[in-house]
Amino acid sequence: MNKTILRLVVSLTFFAFVWSSNGTMFSRAAGKPRTSPGGAGGQATPAAGNTPLPGMPPLLDPANVYAADQANQLSPTVKNFPSRVYVPNSEGASVDVIDPKTYKIVDHFAVGKQPQHIVPAYDLKTLWVLDDMGNDLIKIDPATGKKGETVPVDDPYNLYFTPNGEYAIVVAEALHRLDFRDPQTMALKYSLHVPCSGVNHMDYTADGRTMLVSCEFDGKLLKVDVVSHKILGVLPLGAKLMPQDVRLSPDGKLFYVADMMANGVHVIDVARFAKIDFLATGKGAHGLLIGRDSKLLYVSNRGEGSISVVDLATRKIIDKWRIPNGGSPDMGGISADGKVIWLSGRYNAEVYAIDSSDGKLIARIAVGKGPHGLCVFPQPGRYSLGHTGLYR
């Protein structure tokens, strides 16, 4: 089926339940495709061992997978790059570039149809604009902030990289696939058909051998082996739920999974591949960010215009910050010094700069229509695992 037609069918199917209390949509205009993907389900196999994925750089601290992401620990590769916030406007077919020092737009350029996320490459030398409906990736040179060449790729809704840098993984949501590609040329190497609808976000275990993948439109999580490219298990959360962003805990023992319909965050035990807790953060829980000191988890509640703050040591919600006059906080990143949280306002055509210490709104910047997976760059970290800035 033509992808444009497929997404139209999907939009009409699930349009009825994606409205927030103030009348604006808080889910992507999409839902279950007509056909169900094939593939095996069943119980999870035992968790991956402690032997790291071959070729993966060793963790700086086995007790903290984010030890390389602390405040101002910029890689030599990026230390001279200008600090910018890159905003893909999904409904505006464009990218806005913000100077975080002045909170002003300093550049704007057109891209293809429905850009969803802007993703740092594994080696940190390139930013990729995911032109989902245009079926291509568009390079940005982070040394200059300028648009570069276009690379044809099927259905690039999201993009990740294996922890050893061997593959780029294009999350082809509408095609029900994870496409393993060359991280430089994006040539297809292997395609994994997934047994779920709406595959979209993921993160990796501390050893880099396993990835947890969320399936938005049928409420499932997948456990996938990085080396064999095989599905090790399927964890149903609930058919009417919508799992979104995924983030590993600093100690590597838990995955946090935001869920827009459950209005909170599922807590998944890595070793047992089982749900052990749930945190009711707020309506339309969507994006997850780990603070620079690895102590706090920030959850954007897109359906109610708020950000919940979770203490990772106690797994308790310790604060909730509401955006003045409402908003729709979605995906984003944290400044290199850890002081500012940047989030797109998906249904308000704006970007929010929020003080990470007290939740006060620093700036509200008007951008193009439908801002989605914005990228703060550069950020601390030795290499990128993808999405809008998932680093180790």
pLDDT tens digits, one per residue of 274-285? 999 999 999 999
Which pLDDT belongs to residue 41? 33
Residue 121 maps to a domain = yes
CATH number of domain containing 222: 2.130.10.10
73 DSSP assignment: -
Q: Is the pLDDT of residue 89 over 50?
A: yes
Mean pLDDT across the stretch 11-28? Answer: 35
For 283-309, what is each residue's pLDDT tens digit? 999 999 999 999 999 999 999 999 999
For 56-67, what is each residue's pLDDT tens digit? 999 999 999 999
Per the confidence metrics, is the pTM higher than 0.95?
A: no
- Which residue is it, tokens 């960010």? 289
Q: Which contiguous run of DSSP H or E holds residue 3?
A: helix 3-14
Number of domains observed in the structure of the chain: 1
Which pLDDT belongs to residue 48? 41
- List residues bridging with 298 in a β-sheet: 289, 309
Phi and psi at 10, nearest 5°, equal: -60, -45
Widest pairwise Cα distance in the chain: 52
- Which residue is it, tokens 């779920």? 196
Residue 57 maps to a domain = no
What contacts 216, CB < 8 A, 6 or more positions away? 28, 30, 173, 197, 198, 199, 200, 242, 243, 244
Residue 53 maps to a domain = no
- The two three-digit tokens of residue 218, written as one number: 């049928």
Residue 47 maps to a domain = no
What contacts 1, CB < 8 A, 6 or more positions away? 9, 34
- Among 25-39, 41-55, 203-217, whose mean pLDDT is lowest? 25-39
Residue 323 maps to a domain = yes
For 163-200, what is each residue's pLDDT tens digit? 999 999 999 999 999 999 999 999 999 999 999 999 99
- Cis peptide before 37, with omega less than 30 degrees from 0? no
Residue 383 maps to a domain = no
Range of the domain at 298: 3-34+64-377
Q: Is the pLDDT of residue 14 over 70?
A: no
Q: Which contiguous run of DSSP H or E holds residue 14?
A: helix 3-14
Residue 285 maps to a domain = yes
For 113-157, what is each residue's pLDDT tens digit? 999 999 999 999 999 999 999 999 999 999 999 999 999 999 999
How would residue 342 be classed by pLDDT, with cut points 50, 70 and 90? very high
How would residue 17 be classed by pLDDT, with cut points 50, 70 and 90? very low
Residue 126 maps to a domain = yes
Cα separation, 94 vs 105, in Å, equals 13
